[in-house]
Structure 1
Amino acid sequence: MRYELVIFDNDGVLVDSEPISNTVLAGYLTELGHPTSYEDSLRDYMGGAMHRIHDTIFERTGKRLPDDFDETFHGRVFAAFERDLTAVAGVTDVLGKLAAAGVPYCVASSGSHERIRVGHRKTGLDLWFPAGTVFSAQDVGRGKPAPDLFLHAAARMGVAPERCVVVEDSPLGVEAALAAGMDVYGFTAMTGAGQLDGARGHFGDMARLPELLL
């Protein structure tokens, strides 16, 4: 099957941000009186939009996070990005091969547009994702695991969902892609294949992705 659109998740797939952001998140939640380990953060929040953090803490404790939680968290994450963020190894080669084959691609991320921009600018990926190819959970009402974001990206790119394939590294993202009626391949660099159930295939090295997609 030749796909007409490849939709990339951002965090953990394009930029190696999950270790950074989940370390920051675990530390900040713990600081606020909600003890959270790095492993807890990966399990509960990886791949989700910001509202998932607020919803989960409220459901568990009955307490609301501070009004400035998002602003403070993003400030800490962006500072860490400027120091440490890199692109996922081999991903620019994948993008180059898709471009050479004439296969359109875009990014659909649970992160905010600002978070995507900061990460792409730091890693040079902004050169690969021009205006009109970057979509955020901010653009829709509900983030992953709802299918809304992937359906929005497909609609904006003018491709039917069944002709799209998603590249994801989180259980929430795989669930969202399947709910959107799209094929999905699971990137297992940080997440075991068993946690990405339902994916059409799995890969742990970006060098393998072009053969799966093309």
Structure 2
Amino acid sequence: MAPSRLIIFDCDGVLVDSEPLAAKAYERVYDKHGMPGVHGGIIAQCVGMKQADIIVRIKELTGHQFPASADGDIWAETKVLFTEELKPTPGIGSFLETLAGDRCVASSSSVERINHSLAVTGLARFFGDAIYSSSMVKNGKPAPDIFLFAAARMGTNPADCIVIEDSPFGIQGAVAAGMTAIGYTGGGHTYAEHAARLTAAGADFVCADWQEVSRQLAGLGVPA
């Protein structure tokens, strides 16, 4: 009997179409603290990172040092936007309804943000407690830590895991973990070079919608 395959989903930009809203939140909060110029193009270079690494990267790109005492402001603003506007990525609900086998979430976001995102979009019921955050491991993406942690918790060999990711950092982490990597470009933050960058990062396949993901999974022996 062939080993069962575990499907590991990133959250932001894969399950939920959150990246444009998250970029807006960063822009608003940095403006609020007197640090203008943190726009979507800056945040696009941080997609896939956990918040602490995003703050470091923004400083590298703009010179702005966000005050540690105000870290909570970022999630507070993001939560307001998510509650009002967050949507699932197109077609993900139907995809998850028919997906067979084990699945989990492995995200750079905090557990609170992941759970809120899944709750407001109606996707929480598909994952139960199988939620893993980079806050649970030492190193964020592109390190493989979160994916290896998720596989261990789910009792699956890394070689039997398939990761679905929208960011080059996430793809690099999946590859480093020894997992099959599917790049996803169906979110609202996609751009002309998105697929090429995911391929360059090591994606085995790149899919623009969930129908194509289903076809690729079928080729890997996973009914979806």
Deviation for aligned residue 1:183: 0.9
Find the residue that maps to 1:68 and give its secondary structure: helix
In structure 1, the residue matched to 2:155 is: 158
Equivalent pairs: percent with the same residue? Answer: 37
In structure 2, the residue matched to 1:212 is: 216
Deviations 1:26-56 (A, max 9, x none): 332344425222121112x111001112322
Deviations 1:32-88 (A, max 9, x none): 425222121112x11100111232245457764212332101000000011100111
Alignment of 1:68-79 (within 5 A): 68-79=69-80
In structure 1, the residue matched to 2:107 is: 109
Q: Structure 1 residue 35 and structure 2 residue 37: aligned?
A: yes
- In 2, Cα distance between the equivalents of 1:62 and 1:209? 39
Deviations 1:107-162 (A, max 9, x none): 0000000001111110111111111x100011111110110000000000011111
> In 2 relative to 1, CA 81–63 (structure 1 residues): closer, same or farther, beyond 3 Å?
closer
- In 2, Cα distance between the equivalents of 1:87 and 1:2? 30
Q: Taking structure 1 as the reference length, what is the TM-score of the superposition?
A: 0.91
Deviation for aligned residue 1:195: 1.3
Q: What do you get for the CA RMSD once the two structures are aligned?
A: 1.8
Find the residue that maps to 2:22 and give its secondary structure: helix
How many residues are treated as equivalent by the alignment?
209
Q: Which letter does structure 1 place at the counterpart of 2:185?
A: T
- In 1, Cα distance between the equivalents of 2:71 and 2:131? 21
Find the residue that maps to 1:186 and give its secondary structure: strand
- The answer (yes or no) to whether the contact 2:38–2:58 under 8 Å persists in 1 is no
In structure 1, the residue matched to 2:222 is: none
Find the residue that maps to 1:6 and give its secondary structure: strand
> In 2 relative to 1, CA 84–61 (structure 1 residues): closer, same or farther, beyond 3 Å?
closer
Deviation for aligned residue 1:184: 0.5
- The answer (yes or no) to whether the contact 2:16–2:117 under 8 Å persists in 1 is yes
Alignment of 1:1-214 (within 5 A): 4-32=5-33, 33=35, 35-43=37-45, 45-59=46-60, 64-99=65-100, 103-131=101-129, 133-189=130-186, 190-191=190-191, 192-196=194-198, 197=200, 198-214=202-218
